[in-house]
Amino acid sequence: MLKPPSSGAAVLAAALALPGVVPSARAESAPESGLIGFKYLNYRDSQPGLKRISVDAPSMSFLLPVAGSWSMAGSYTMDSVSGASPRWHSSISSASKMSDFRRAADLRVTKYFARSTFSFGTAYSTEHDYRSNSYSLQATFSSDDNNTTWAVGVGRALDRIDPVNGIVVDEHKRTTDFMVGVTQVLTPNDIVQANLTIARGTGYYSDPYKQVDQRPRERNQSAVMLRWNHHFEGLGSTLRTSYRYYDDSFKVNAHTMSAEWVQPLPKGWTIAPSIRYHTQSAAKFYYDPVYDPLLGAPFPPGYLTNPTGFYSADHRLSAFGAMTLGFKVSKEVIKDWNADFRMEWYEQRGAWRLGGTGSPGLALFKARFMQIGVTHKF
């Protein structure tokens, strides 16, 4: 299955990170124990009258301390995807049957010093029509009191696209990411973080499985992520909040706000309800459900006189708002063994866009995400 374009409409995540790079919440020290985890993910989405994508994804992850001042972390995932491709506007549909199998792996090696860390990461993903390789470098530097930590990173992704319909052959996409961030401990109970990511990409951004979809071959992206965590001593709970602003050369501007409440309970239980709201503007070449008077749907007005222009009816590039509600529960089953269960419900509507009307004619989009897992410390 060809990967969707990167956008603020990502269903289940608002994370801001380079390929294989996640900025640390605080200055890190070398791990003293190893971790191994196994998870199973089940994802379903739908539109009115159409059961769309179904994903089953078992995965394994690990963290190993090495020689006292090194660590190695990695994961391996297998995705089994089946269902139908998405509708465009409510009045027309590009829905068609599809199935795919994806394998993905990543590895990160970190060297720890007294007040700094240096990491190298690599990731690989393959499916029958898409292959991706990425590499990253990250460094962190902490103040003498460990209350301030700076992070810098760079990442490079190389993708190859070979759709089965033969619309294009051996196409490529190359993306370079730069990240800088700072984490500051304000009080014993408060920690804040700010990250800036800039990405520059060239290559094939169109969707070859859509009849009318032609996008620029260059995409520049920038995003700012702000986080604030506050611990309530009396309750033993933690409030985690974040805000993300995103902007790109497709003229998609997005705001994402989230909050999570982490509450420990007796006998090793922990619960964590969460909420996330996302709103975005449409790409400059996204077209509403107004079609060429001669060709009809799905061709936009003027297609005959400008067939090489930029067009897309991809709902991920439209103007919309979306809400995600989540709930996670975890428990220490026995010493050094933890089990967890997480659910998220996502809904996207044009009318939910903040500060203005969203794109008209969008089909309602819903998704449900479920994950179970077990982790062992050794």
On whether residue 230 sits in a domain, the answer given is yes
Q: What is the mean pLDDT of residues 282-309?
A: 82
Residue 111 has pLDDT above 90, yes or no: yes
How confident is the model over 248-285, as pLDDT tens digits?
999 999 999 999 999 999 999 999 999 999 999 999 99
Distances (CA, A) of 338 to 38, 271, 378: 11, 13, 12
User: What confidence score (pLDDT) does residue 298 get?
Assistant: 76
CB environment 241-256: b (16+ within 10 A), e (fewer): ebebebbbebebebbb
On whether residue 231 sits in a domain, the answer given is yes
Residue with tokens 């990409």: 201
User: What confidence score (pLDDT) does residue 52 get?
Assistant: 78
Mean pLDDT of the chain: 88
Tokens read off for 330: 């975890």
Residue 283 sits in which domain range? Answer: 35-377
How confident is the model over 9-19, as pLDDT tens digits?
333 333 333 33
Q: In whole angstroms, what is the distance from residue 55 CA to residue 330 CA?
A: 23
Q: In whole angstroms, what is the distance from residue 361 CA to residue 213 CA?
A: 18
On whether residue 71 sits in a domain, the answer given is yes
On whether residue 368 sits in a domain, the answer given is yes
pTM score, two decimals? 0.87
On whether residue 6 sits in a domain, the answer given is no
Cis amide leading into 298 (omega within 30): yes
User: What confidence score (pLDDT) does residue 210 get?
Assistant: 81
On whether residue 271 sits in a domain, the answer given is yes
On whether residue 242 sits in a domain, the answer given is yes
How confident is the model over 223-253, as pLDDT tens digits?
999 999 999 999 999 999 999 999 999 999 9
User: What confidence score (pLDDT) does residue 18 get?
Assistant: 39
Residue 372 has pLDDT above 60, yes or no: yes
Question: What CATH number corresponds to the domain at position 295?
Answer: 2.40.160.40
Q: Find out whether 327 and 273 touch, Cβ atoms under 8 Å.
A: yes
Q: Count of CB atoms within 10 A of residue 304's CB?
A: 10
Tally the C-alpha atoms within 13 A of residue 174's C-alpha that lie toward its C-beta: 1
User: What confidence score (pLDDT) does residue 97 get?
Assistant: 67
Q: In whole angstroms, what is the distance from residue 108 CA to residue 121 CA?
A: 4
Q: In whole angstroms, what is the distance from residue 280 CA to residue 301 CA?
A: 24
On whether residue 26 sits in a domain, the answer given is no
Tokens read off for 143: 């103040």
Split into its structural domains, the chain has a count of 1
